[in-house]
Chains A and B, each alone.
Chain A
Amino acid sequence: MDILTLFIVVPIITIVVLVFSKGLKQARVISMIGSLVQLGMAINLVFAYFREREINQDIMVFTKDSVWFKTFNIHYNVGVDGVSVALLLLTSVVVLAGVFISWKIKELPKEFFISLLVLSTGVYGFFISIDLFTMFVFYEIAVIPMYLLIGIWGTGPREYSAMKLTIMLMGASAVLLVGILGIYFNSNPDGSALTFNILEIAQVNIPFEAQKLFFPLVFIGFAVLGALFPFHTWSPDGHASAPTAVSMLHAGVLMKLGGYGVFRVAMFLLPEGALTWSNFFIVLSVIGVIYGAFGAIKQKDLKYINAYSSVSHLGLVLFALLMLNKTAWNGAILQSLSHGLMTALFFALIGMIYGRTGTRDITKLGGLLKVIPVISATYVIAGLASLGLPGFSGFVAEMNIFVGAFQQENPFHRVATIISVSVIVVTAVYILRVVGIMLMGPVKNKKHLTLQRVTWYEKTGIVLLLIPIIGMGVAPLWLSDMILESLQPFIKGLI
């Protein structure tokens, strides 16, 4: 079996084993082993990728192609480039951390881990697909377990949030479906066979009229998952109600599908459509960036703060993608990775705080740094990474985005860029506000003086996420090179 198909097979095997397991202890150990293997495979893939790159200059490497539905020319077709390798690595880190954070899940543990792994299977499959049909299948497989995960194990208005999230994301995928069919039926202007293969479609020129018509469908279809304003409303509610590990996976991984899809499908296959529509969507993404940041300032619930911050950060990803140049795109991918790691970390920490204090309302918390120092200190680190302090992943990403954005010289892009840059200040405000109220000062609630210290499985989860955040910050070049190299073929149609 080839190196990529294993990424789908291993979780499936883990799920099958889980089905026959009994109780929490077995379930969590099995999931941990499965996710650990997955992480090992992802790290191995990075090295294998570098070795392969030296001898293989194709757009996608490790490709494997077998026919699935002959009549429709649907293939099971997988392959990776630098971007997908990076995102696969991110996914495996977050999933493993998620398993550790859910170490003590009480209700229906087996079902919880199964749903979690189904979700991750969908995500892995999505990142390795080259065929639009398989990509779409995996997209939906990744979304649907969210309904159960939030609905069964969530808190607060979980039924409402779960339904809202599922319906909005599936609605988006429905729009995407029309876009994909539109691309499919325009993939043979010279009368050859229709195809779903991304690389083959990129070779042909889809008629301009079709590009103009289908670009918004494909773009919105993916961007809803990337919390594009005004379709972001599922995200804060979903995050707030989801259990910790699900928030982590959701913000850390699932939302990345949006940006990845935009870049891999919408921009790559419909470049003229992208040029036509980019200004319109830039406006939306800038609104998202501002709106998310100011939303975060106003919230009191920790999860809502980070959910809105996600809207803002991912708005920046879409913004960077719409700048249509290589530096900005590099920034977009780095931002996806960086945001994935630090938001996962944020949500893990919030889960720990909530599990100990029973509240997520920052006005009721205070002085936590004295009581639970490890968790609090990590929260500060994650916050600093989030506001783009040099030395952490966020800085590298945002730097690239804004340098790239400034390369666009016309007034419209300039104004949009200046507005987005200024939002960094707002980011600093809402993060430091939380740090100030929640972590510093006197302990507000006497009950909080005796909070349980951080446990070993929580520490493992934290460390797993912290290493890459700092690693990306201090040594970004290898990653950035890997991504930049892969962006070249994708940007060609746009310049």
Chain B
Amino acid sequence: MDWNSFLLMRQEILLLSIILLLLIVEVFISKNKKGNLIHFAIFLFGIHTAVGLLAMEEGSIFGGMFHTTGLIHFFKNVLNIGVFILLLQSADWLQEKIVEHQRGTEFFVLLFSSLLGMYFMVSAGDFLMFFIGLELSTLPVAALAAYETAKSKSSEAGIKLILSAALASGVALFGISMLYIAGGSIYFNDIMQTITTSHLSILGMVILFSGLAFKISLVPFHFWTADVYEGAPISVASYLSVMSKGAGVFILMILLFTILRPLLHIWENLVYILALTTMFIGNLFALRQNNLKRFLAFSSIAQAGFILLGIINGEQLGVATVIYFVLIYVFSNLAAFGVVQAISLQTGKENISDYEGLYRTNPKLSLVMMLALFSLAGIPPVAGFFGKFFLFTAAAAKGYYLLVFLAVVNVTVSLYYYLLVVRAMFLRTNEHAIPHFNSKLYMKVGLVLTVLSILVLGLYSPLYEYIFELSKNLM
């Protein structure tokens, strides 16, 4: 084997080195200087993100276990940028709440391990690698969810996450084993050739689908979501809703579009029904939430429902629109969670009613929040509109007009609850409004990056064309 072929794993190797480096450096840093480690970690990850942007060749190694394409590389970069912004937004929280308990490094190590798992998952060329990646991406997050040990809700979130994740993995593994029997191989390329429509393969597909549906919290596999988001630290909730869901969607799409393509006529119906239940349940539950983390949890469930409209397309157009939407969704949700993080860190307040009159005291934060919510709701000219419009186009291209119609009804419902937050911030005045405060530098940079992305990504069309070109390879 050629050593150069290891360069295909450049991202993974670099991230692994960072994890090890952090563990080693921590030993040599004195106790009262642990705070500097945060800057160091963010700096390292920034370099990693920048290096990741360099072009990479396509190819596969380990006999096809691990492969990478332009699209996969692009998606890893999306994950990198997302995590980088997330780190910027969490830096203050780590500095103020976590370092004093001597647990700064573990946060990064766990987070990066999970990211590493996602890399392997999206690059997987067989079910073994896929499953290892799936596990590695989920387990550290359970530890992260329980990170604020002082809060009982946080521990509860950790337990809930690990239990449902373990169940989901088990279910997915069960489905994989059936597909293995049906296809006679664990390699994606082989299964693609051999799989046919049989009872066994359909059953395997449905069960594997259910396992992944946990990961991206499709209704009715969503029960853990709101509780975990509420209990977990905001950074972790943000990570779950953005990275975890994004990677889950990506791998689900790859599996459905490649090895399960012969079963397209079956999973179309499955996706159709799940899209409807997810959108309706997610939106209806979001209507009545007061806690912003729960609110964003249900909103993110509903967003997953919209994503299924792109998946149902089953063609290049579907891939491109889904990736494009996920990209926009990453930034929109990061912006929303970033504001919640900033305010929660200053005041400890996390309810929509606490935000009343926020515009009069903190206009910039309110504007960021408004843009983020408009993007999630799909209002032009911010990016979310374009993402959603294209998803609907993808579904309509296959003639699913009724589904699109029900989806746009849901968009209107979702607009209602997004406007509730805007109402609290802009329309209400409140004598006990959250007082004016200035965020620290990291947070500011984190928020500015997301806002710029939200404003630019939609209007800048070459990006979509680029994704569309990359999507060709998946077919």
Number of interface residues of A (CB under 8 A): 32
Q: Residues 52-71 of chain B: 1 if any A CB is under 8 Å from the residue's CB, otherwise 0?
A: 00000000000000000000
Residues of A within 8 A of B426 (CB): 148, 151-152
CB distance from A115 to the nearest CB of B (A): 10
- Are B408's CB and A174's CB within 8 A? yes
**Is A102 part of the contact surface with B, judged by Cβ < 8 Å?**
no
Where the two chains meet, the residues of B that have a C-beta atom closer than 8 Å to any C-beta of A are: 317, 320, 374, 379-381, 385, 389-390, 392-393, 396-397, 399, 401, 404-405, 408-409, 411-412, 415-416, 419, 422-423, 426-427, 461, 464-465, 468
CB distance from A136 to the nearest CB of B (A): 8
Stretch at the interface among A175-183, A296-304, A413-421: A175-183
CB distance from A27 to the nearest CB of B (A): 15
Residues of A within 8 A of B419 (CB): 147, 163, 166-167
**Is A158 part of the contact surface with B, judged by Cβ < 8 Å?**
yes
- Are B408's CB and A178's CB within 8 A? yes
- Are B465's CB and A70's CB within 8 A? yes
CB within 8 A of A181: which of B401, B422, B464? B401
Residues of B within 8 A of A162 (CB): 427
Given A148-B426, A151-B426, A158-B427, residue A170 in contact with residue B393 (CB < 8 A): no
Residues of B within 8 A of A72 (CB): 390, 393
A-B contacts, 7 listed (Cβ < 8 Å) = A141-B381, A151-B423, A152-B426, A159-B423, A163-B423, A174-B409, A181-B401
Residues of B within 8 A of A174 (CB): 408-409, 411-412
CB distance from B180 to the nearest CB of A (A): 37
CB distance from A292 to the nearest CB of B (A): 25
Q: Residues 142-155 of chain A: 1 if any B CB is under 8 Å from the residue's CB, otherwise 0?
A: 00100110011000
Residues of A within 8 A of B380 (CB): 137, 140-141
- Are B427's CB and A181's CB within 8 A? no
CA distance A159 to B426 in the complex (A): 11
**Is A189 part of the contact surface with B, judged by Cβ < 8 Å?**
no
**Is A71 part of the contact surface with B, judged by Cβ < 8 Å?**
yes
**Is A171 part of the contact surface with B, judged by Cβ < 8 Å?**
yes
Q: Which residue of A lies closest to B420 (CB)?
A: A163
CB distance from B329 to the nearest CB of A (A): 19
**Is A50 part of the contact surface with B, judged by Cβ < 8 Å?**
no
Residues of A within 8 A of B397 (CB): 185
- Are B423's CB and A181's CB within 8 A? no
CB distance from A233 to the nearest CB of B (A): 15
CA distance A226 to B399 in the complex (A): 29
Which of B320, B419, B468 has the most chain A CB atoms inside 10 A of its CB?
Answer: B419
- Are B393's CB and A181's CB within 8 A? yes
Cβ-closest 6 pairs across A and B: A174-B408, A181-B396, A151-B427, A171-B412, A137-B380, A69-B461
Given A137-B381, A177-B392, residue A70 in contact with residue B423 (CB < 8 A): no
CB distance from A66 to the nearest CB of B (A): 11
**Is A412 part of the contact surface with B, judged by Cβ < 8 Å?**
no
Q: Which residue of A lies closest to B416 (CB)?
A: A167
Where the two chains meet, the residues of A that have a C-beta atom closer than 8 Å to any C-beta of B are: 68-72, 74, 133, 137, 140-141, 144, 147-148, 151-152, 158-159, 162-163, 166-167, 170-171, 174-175, 177-178, 181-182, 184-185, 213
CA distance A158 to B465 in the complex (A): 43
CB within 8 A of A178: which of B320, B404, B422, B464? B404
- Are A69's CB and B404's CB within 8 A? no
Which of B408, B409, B468 has the most chain A CB atoms inside 10 A of its CB?
Answer: B408
Q: Which residue of B lies closest to A107 (CB)?
A: B429
- Are B412's CB and A170's CB within 8 A? yes
CB distance from A461 to the nearest CB of B (A): 27
- Are B385's CB and A140's CB within 8 A? yes
CA distance A158 to B468 in the complex (A): 44
- Are B412's CB and A159's CB within 8 A? no
- Are A71's CB and B468's CB within 8 A? yes
CA distance A137 to B390 in the complex (A): 13
CB distance from B115 to the nearest CB of A (A): 30
- Are A178's CB and B465's CB within 8 A? no
Residues of A within 8 A of B401 (CB): 178, 181-182, 213
Residues of A within 8 A of B422 (CB): 147-148
- Are A170's CB and B415's CB within 8 A? yes
CB distance from A188 to the nearest CB of B (A): 12
- Are A167's CB and B408's CB within 8 A? no
- Are B412's CB and A167's CB within 8 A? yes
- Are B408's CB and A175's CB within 8 A? yes
CB distance from B473 to the nearest CB of A (A): 16
Given A137-B385, A163-B416, residue A68 in contact with residue B461 (CB < 8 A): yes
CA distance A68 to B462 in the complex (A): 8
Residues of A within 8 A of B412 (CB): 167, 170-171, 174
CA distance A400 to B374 in the complex (A): 43
Q: Which residue of B lies closest to A121 (CB)?
A: B381
CB within 8 A of A177: which of B408, B423, B464, B468? B408
CB within 8 A of A159: which of B392, B408, B427, B461? B427
Q: Which residue of B lies closest to A158 (CB)?
A: B427
CB distance from A234 to the nearest CB of B (A): 13
Which of A72, A74, A158 has the most chain B CB atoms inside 10 A of its CB?
Answer: A72
CB distance from B384 to the nearest CB of A (A): 12
CA distance A69 to B411 in the complex (A): 23
CA distance A440 to B390 in the complex (A): 58
CB distance from B341 to the nearest CB of A (A): 25
CA distance A71 to B389 in the complex (A): 14
Residues of A within 8 A of B379 (CB): 140, 144
Residues of B within 8 A of A144 (CB): 374, 379
CB distance from A439 to the nearest CB of B (A): 35
Residues of A within 8 A of B423 (CB): 151, 159, 163
- Are B427's CB and A152's CB within 8 A? yes
CA distance A137 to B419 in the complex (A): 19
CB distance from B404 to the nearest CB of A (A): 5
Q: Which residue of A lies closest to B458 (CB)?
A: A137
Q: Which residue of B lies closest to A168 (CB)?
A: B412
CA distance A147 to B370 in the complex (A): 12
CB distance from B32 to the nearest CB of A (A): 44
Q: Which residue of A lies closest to B467 (CB)?
A: A71
CA distance A174 to B379 in the complex (A): 11
CA distance A133 to B459 in the complex (A): 13
Residues of B within 8 A of A181 (CB): 392-393, 396, 401, 404
CB distance from B439 to the nearest CB of A (A): 20
Which of A68, A163, A175, A178 has the most chain B CB atoms inside 10 A of its CB?
Answer: A178
CA distance A140 to B458 in the complex (A): 15
CA distance A74 to B401 in the complex (A): 20
- Are A167's CB and B404's CB within 8 A? no
Residues of A within 8 A of B411 (CB): 170, 174
CA distance A140 to B411 in the complex (A): 13
Q: Which residue of B lies closest to A139 (CB)?
A: B380
Residues of B within 8 A of A163 (CB): 416, 419, 423
Residues of A within 8 A of B404 (CB): 177-178, 181
CA distance A170 to B422 in the complex (A): 16
Residues of B within 8 A of A158 (CB): 427
- Are B415's CB and A166's CB within 8 A? yes
CB distance from A172 to the nearest CB of B (A): 9
CB distance from B77 to the nearest CB of A (A): 21
CA distance A148 to B367 in the complex (A): 12
Residues of A within 8 A of B385 (CB): 137, 140
CA distance A140 to B422 in the complex (A): 17
